[in-house]
Chain A
């Protein structure tokens, strides 16, 4: 059973540009959550998508957005990039059916903004 796949693994962008990151969850999982990891702020929840709808949202500006497709794959978009957006972006998938207890994380996309 394939794990959570995030692409690309590494990305370098310039301030002001926009970027799209992709996450393919484990087959059968319907929930995809996104997290930002930085040395200063640690791991912070961005948002969660379930059945193509955003169900939970963290405290990030509107420049951070996402969507989920009918096959549960999710994309995260950051517009007007700032230097502070440099981080490891992690995606997690979970089944979210009943008493689900486990989120499986991908390897992450390391974004560097220069």
Chain B
């Protein structure tokens, strides 16, 4: 199947860490991505991880991949109000990014 699943909402306090989780079904996925969408805007690629990696860190972002459980997570350290957005987990197959399957998106809201 092509399902990528993630929870719809997450609320965190400013300064705390946010963890957004995702599960996917296709074990042949080559690349897994996290995209960010702010209101009225297109999609911004935040980070990606190759399927043979377990972890990738990029400044405040940490991606963890558990290939056995087909589970992907995005941790945002020191969450700021500017992090408020919808975060999409996505996967692509093969060696190109030409066809991407997206999750439903997690709306992250920040409370003071």
- Which A residues have a C-beta under 8 Å from some C-beta of B? 4, 31, 33, 35, 42-45, 48, 50, 55-56, 58, 90, 92, 94, 96, 98-108
Contact = CB atoms under 8 A, between A and B. Distances in A.
A48 B93 CA distance: 14
Interface in B7-57: 31, 35, 41-45, 48, 50
Nearest to B88: A43
14 contacts: A31-B96, A31-B97, A42-B103, A43-B88, A48-B99, A90-B43, A92-B97, A92-B100, A94-B96, A101-B31, A101-B50, A102-B45, A105-B42, A108-B42
Given A31-B96, A96-B96, A101-B48, A45 B42 contact: no
A103 B104 contact: no
A103 B98 contact: yes
A58 to B, nearest CB: 8
- Those 3 A-B pairs whose CB atoms lie nearest each other, nearest first: A43-B102, A103-B97, A105-B43
Contacts of A103: 45, 97-98, 100
Given A90-B43, A101-B31, A42 B104 contact: yes
Interface residues of B, number: 21
B42 A107 contact: yes
B42 A33 contact: no
Contacts, number: 64
Interface of B: 31, 35, 41-45, 48, 50, 88, 95-105
Nearest to A58: B99
Contacts of A96: 96-98
